[in-house]
Amino acid sequence: MPEIAENAAAPTDRQALLNELRWKKFPVLDDGFVCLVDIMGEDSSIVQAARVSYGEGTKKGSDDRTLIRYLLRHRHTTPFEMVELKFLVRVPMDCWRQWIRHRTANVNEYSTRYSIAIDSTQTTPADEWRTQSQTNRQGSEEMLPADVGEKLTAAERELQELTRRVYQDRLDLGVAREQARKDLPLSTYTEAYWKVDLHNLLHFLALRMDSHAQLEIREYSAAIGRKIVQPLLPMVWEAFEDYRLHASGLSRLEIGCIQRLMQHAAANGRVPPLSTEDFLAVQDPSWRELTRSRERDECLAKLQELGLVTR
C-alpha cells in the first residue's frame, strides 16, 4: 500500500474539498461563471509520474514539493499531463473566441443550431469602458469618462434588446435556429464543457492571467486558478506562481544589456539604479536605429522591475 506523505491532506479532507468545489459556480462578469465538474489526480499524481513509481509513494511531503518545484522550474511538463480537470463555463462569445484558441483541450459547446440561444448578454457598466492602448494594438488602456460611458451603456442596451427581439421574431416565424442566430451579438453568453490536462491549463493561465491579456478573460482565468486549482493542487500552484505567473525570463540580448550596464556603472564608479539614459547607452545595437522597439521597452521594464534602472 502507498504510504501517505507527511503534511498531505487526509483523503477525507480532500474528498470534502472536492464535494465543496464540484458544481459550485464561481461568478464572473455580470452573468458568467466557472465551475469544476471533475478532476483526475492531485499533487502526488505528478510526483508518481515523474518517478515512475507505480504507486510506491513518498514518505515526506517536502520531497513532493521539492520535486514539483524542480519539474516546473526546469519545464519538465509531461508529469503535469497526468492530472486532468473538467470545467463547465458560461462566457460571452467574444471572450470564448480567445479561449477556444487554446486547442489543447476537449470541448463540447452549447449549440444554437439545436437549442435557442441563451437569453443573456454581457453588459458593460458605465464606468468600465476602456480606451484603445497606444502601445499595444490588441489591448486597452485607461477608462473613459463616466458621462461618455453612460451613453455607450445605454446604446449597448438598446442594441442588445433589438438583436434579441429580431432573433425571437425569426424563431416565431419559423426561421431555422441555425439561420435565426446569425445576427446575435458577440456579447451573447455561451456555455461549454472544457476538459484540459494540467500542463496545458497552466499554460492557459500563464497567458490569460497576464496583465497584457484582455480584462474579461483575465477574470475567468483568475477564477479558475485561484478558486479551483489553488486549493486542489497547492504545491503546483505555489510553484506556478513562483516560476511562471510572477516570474520573468531574460533573453540573450537582455542578458547582454545587463552585463554592459553593470560594466558601465563600474567604469563610472556608480551603483544601480541607473538612469534610462544609461540604459539607452548600452542597449543592444539592433535596437539603436529603431524609433520604437517593443523589445527594447520590454527589456527596460524588466530592468526597472529588478531595480537596476530608475522608473
Look up the CATH number of the domain holding residue 105.
Answer: 3.30.1360.170
Where does a domain end: 201, 219, 245?
A: 245
Identify whether residues 167 and 133 lie together within a single domain: yes
- Per-residue pLDDT at 51: 87
Do 75 and 20 touch, CB atoms closer than 8 A? no
- Per-residue pLDDT at 67: 94
Q: Catalytic amino acids?
A: 208
Query: Which domain range does residue 297 map to?
Result: 252-305
Taking the C-alpha atoms of residue 228 and residue 157, their distance in angstroms, rounded to an integer, is 33
Per-residue pLDDT tens listing for the chain (311 residues): 334 344 445 668 999 999 999 999 999 999 999 999 999 999 999 999 998 754 555 556 568 999 999 999 999 999 999 999 999 999 999 999 999 999 999 999 999 999 999 999 999 999 999 999 887 777 888 999 999 999 999 999 999 999 999 999 999 999 999 999 999 999 999 999 999 999 999 999 999 999 989 999 999 999 999 999 999 999 999 999 999 999 999 999 999 999 999 999 999 999 999 999 999 999 999 999 999 999 999 999 999 999 999 99
Where does a domain end: 245, 270, 289?
A: 245
Specify the pairing of strand 26-28 against strand 140-143: unpaired
- Per-residue pLDDT at 60: 61
Q: How does DSSP assign 229-266, residue by residue?
A: IHHHSHHHHHHHIIIIIT-----HHHHHHHHHHHHHHH
Identify whether residues 149 and 220 lie together within a single domain: no
Locus of grid cell 485607461: 142
Lateral strand order in the sheet of 189-197: 26-28, 32-40, 84-92, 189-197, 106-109
- Per-residue pLDDT at 217: 97
Assigned domain for 279 exists: yes
